[in-house]
Amino acid sequence: MPIDVGPRAAVHLLNRIGYGPRPGDVARILGTGLDRYVQGQLDAPADPELDSRLRGLITLDYPISQVLTLYNADQRSIGVILDELYTAKVIRAVHAQNQLQEVMVDFWFNHFNVYVQDGFARYSTGAYEREAIRPHALGRFRDLLGATAAHPAMLYFLDNYLSRANVTVGGRVVRGLNENYGRELLELHTVGVDAGYTQDHVIDAARCFTGWGIDNLNNSGRFTYRQAVHDTGAKSVFGLNLPAGGGKDDAEKLLDHLASHPKTASFIAKKLAERLVSDDPPPRVVDRAAAAFESTGGDIREVLRAILGSAEFWAEAFGAGKPKTPLEFVASALRAADAQVSNGRAVVAYLQNMGMPLYACVPPTGYSNRGADWINPSSQLYRMNFGLDLAAGAVAGVSADVRGVVRRMGGNSEDPGSVASTISAQIFGNGLSRSTLDAASRVAPGGSVSVAARVAGLCLASPEMQAR
Amino acid sequence: MAWDISRRMFLRGAGLAAVGVGFHPSSLLVRAAQAAEAGSRVLVQVFLRGGCDGLSVCVPFGDSEYYDLRGGIAIGRGELVNLDGHFGLHPALAPLKALYDDGRLALLPAVGNYALSRSHFDAQDFMESGTPGDKSTGTGWLERSIAKVPGDAVTEAVAFSAQLPRSFLGPEPVLVAQALSSFDLRARNWRAEAETLLRAMYDARDDALGHVGQETFAAMNVLLRTPAIMAPPAGGAVYPNAAIGTGLRQAAQIIKAGIGTRAIFVNVPGAFDTHANQLTAHTLEFTRIADALVAFARDLGALMDDVALMVTTEFGRVAFVNGSAGTDHGSAHCMILMGGRVRGGRVHGSWPGLARSQLYQERDVAVTTDFRDVFAEMARAQLGVDGSSLFPGYTPGPGPGIVA
């Protein structure tokens, strides 16, 4: 890979395939070599330290049936369960060694979005991420697609569990079909809205999935297939023709067809490049990623390798940067401050104010990967306040000792200029602008909030911190 | 294009506005004349995300096909609020009847555009850009409108939303706020120092990140200098505790404070994408809409004479019920319009009918009014903006005549 081995390149990599550098990270991955760091991120080995941080969150692995049992016994339990889900997300983003895996879990969850507050999704969103998204985040697209399609959370969120074949009774059509999943499968999950499919294709995609449902919403919440309500007529979806007489397999064949469709390769490639490279990624990197998708049958690791090995990816290290989403901003600030997260509740509230509550994007579209969509005065104010609060130790559930960090990194925590240049080196690859460094260095001595906390707060609230 | 001469330039030039306008003396005169006419009127757009079912807002109970098509989710004759013998309001919207009778509220069923598509995202995008079918438009329709209004306050255009709505996308400064009451830096014991130093960081930049920081501080100053903004609702108005309630409550606060706000966008995520069990969802959401609109009118009192509000959504839904007591994505939707100068007390536009041959693609309510005709009418009436150049590639028709 054509890699410029400098702090700037290291920071770029940490910002794009992860949630940004922690103090010390830049020197560490430069020592390892950026190539090897990327390979390690793609391998995603076990992370026992993260596991031990998550160990206290006992409901994290509960299957849907257990969540429902608890809920049926005491409705308050779901509040605890969701709190743990949110806290785990924050802890993983901030503390996981396998940063790329966490970025990809977030990316795919968002791609196959479900809204956590939507009825049965409350009890199944945790399982959905754990069972359908996480195992395949760096795996094969077809497996990911199949796992989401069959998961009760998705079957519920996009209403497929209710969809049945239309039947004619006494010359009258009794409608049973629900188009919701069929449409979003084409528009959002695979070939994309501009692929050229028609309304008839949407209807036939939905017909393929008739019978895919949930056995019981109140107790077990398991996938089930009901042949009796399956539409057994012939179907035609965007180049795939299925003869009459099919069953559950109609949908599997459709997923095979869509997962291997060139439009899916380019749609996914574009979206990944939008997340990892820039809001408007150069066509060359998109084409390269799409080609990798096609030639490997949708191997996500190889698509990532194609993007991360491109000149376009590395050129971004020296560009204006891509504005961070609220999650990217908050997680990167926590990492920059070397924060220890024990409870995510307060952090989640900040994200809510910034317009990005966790697991709570209502439309199936998911949150935008375009950084520019997240820049506005309201969000900006909450971002600045998060940076200031964090450095001052005022975010509940989070501990951050910026004085200690500055000292550990060789800076003088009582000298504003030294604090600012230490942060610039550790977190920005020496990329803080002259004006930002000057402003941060003008912090007055004394005062009830320490010099280090004020300077760090200003750096975390700075324009440079808003982009990655 | 005159609107490209951004007010941003004037804002940055602090005090140079008069000189700046001098670049375009003729457009200045036109703008000044239009502005004088429009005075201090306000345009409010409420956007219901998800595709709200028009047939349930304004129920065509007089259409012989309606009950057949809707089956178990049809609104019974006895439940709905009869408007004119043909249309009736959903029972949860009953509180709006008094405003309707008072001539301050109107309905426009069968509005939309076929190129909007049945995709939520595309349909919202096309409606907000005002260019259905063209995804490359870099600005929103409200941004282009407010750009033609003279003035340089950051609070001239306000969005109550977590994100900048596509409708306001473009170079014009827009205050995006979720909560006016907490719009301040929270650096306890060093607030002044924090503000000074952060301003220095953001003022030094002339890019998108710099601009948003500058706008944040500009907005903060206006809001902190105007305590009147925090006045509680007047006239005993009670807003529902939901996005449309908090949005309209704050819209009223900012209108009552009289700081020159001309265009307000209220973003409403909600349970409008009713693929299943829509009766329940509508009762919840329509109650909120009705309560919020009634509270808004009561809160503003006589100020409502200068306000025109429209409730829009990206598309309506299929004319027939689906297999899940819900409806799938369709075409035409129904707008609710309210204000002192709205020709209220009637159902506007022409009704396309619900017979199979009258439905679009044999499934959707057909479009009889292009949404841009309504937007253009609103922009002319409330902002004094000539709508003929507002929508690239489209010259709005005379309009449905909803706003005087």
User: Which of the four pLDDT bands, split at 50, 70 and 90, describes residue A28?
Assistant: very high
By CB atoms closer than 10 A (0-12, 13-18, 19+), residue B203 is: middle
State whether residue A199 sits within 8 Å of chain B by CB. yes
Give yes or no for residue B310 having a pLDDT over 50.
Answer: yes
CA B45 to chain centre: 1
Are A240 and A264 in contact by the 8 Å Cβ rule? The answer is no
The complex scores an ipTM of: 0.94
Which are the contacts of A55, defined by CB distance < 8 A and separation ≥ 6? none
**For the residues of A359-370, what is the DSSP string, one character each?**
T---STT-S---
Which are the contacts of B36, defined by CB distance < 8 A and separation ≥ 6? B384
**Averaged pLDDT, B380-392:** 93
Which are the contacts of A36, defined by CB distance < 8 A and separation ≥ 6? none
pLDDT tens-place string over residues B357-380: 999 999 999 999 999 999 999 999
Report chain B residues whose CB lies below 8 A from the CB of A178. 275-276, 322-324, 326, 328
Top-level CATH class of B39-179+237-389?
alpha beta
Contact A163 B323 (CB under 8 A): yes
Domain boundaries, chain A: 158-259, 326-466
Contact A447 B320 (CB under 8 A): no
**For the residues of A292-328, what is the DSSP string, one character each?**
HHHHTTSBHHHHHHHHHTSHHHHHGGGSS--BPPHHH
User: Which of the four pLDDT bands, split at 50, 70 and 90, describes residue A5?
Assistant: low
Beta-bridge partners for B183: none
State whether residue A280 sits within 8 Å of chain B by CB. no
Query: If you average pLDDT over every residue of chain B, what do you get?
Result: 89
Please tell me the pTM assigned to this model: 0.89
Structure-token pair, residue A335: 């990492």
Chain A stretch 428-457, residues whose beta carbon is closer than 8 A to a beta carbon of chain B: 433, 435-436, 438-440, 442-444, 447-449, 454, 457
Residue with tokens 């997260």: A341
User: Which of the four pLDDT bands, split at 50, 70 and 90, describes residue B38?
Assistant: low
Contact B50 A363 (CB under 8 A): yes
State whether residue A119 sits within 8 Å of chain B by CB. no
Contact B50 A193 (CB under 8 A): no
pLDDT tens-place string over residues A260-304: 999 999 999 999 999 999 999 999 999 999 999 999 999 999 999
Chain A stretch 157-176, residues whose beta carbon is closer than 8 A to a beta carbon of chain B: 158-159, 162-164, 166, 175-176
A-B C-beta contacts closer than 8 Å:
175
> Phi and psi of B267, rounded to 5°?
-90, 130
User: Which of the four pLDDT bands, split at 50, 70 and 90, describes residue B40?
Assistant: confident
> Phi and psi of B292, rounded to 5°?
-70, -40
Q: Using alpha carbons, select from B63, B12, B400, B398 the residue that is nearest to residue B203.
A: B12
d(CA B8, CA B326): 46
Report chain B residues whose CB lies below 8 A from the CB of A353. 162, 178-179
Are B321 and B327 in contact by the 8 Å Cβ rule? The answer is yes
Chain A stretch 361-390, residues whose beta carbon is closer than 8 A to a beta carbon of chain B: 362-365, 372-381, 384-385, 388-389
**Averaged pLDDT, A116-140:** 97
User: Which of the four pLDDT bands, split at 50, 70 and 90, describes residue B399?
Assistant: confident
In chain B, what percentage of residues exceed pLDDT 90? 78
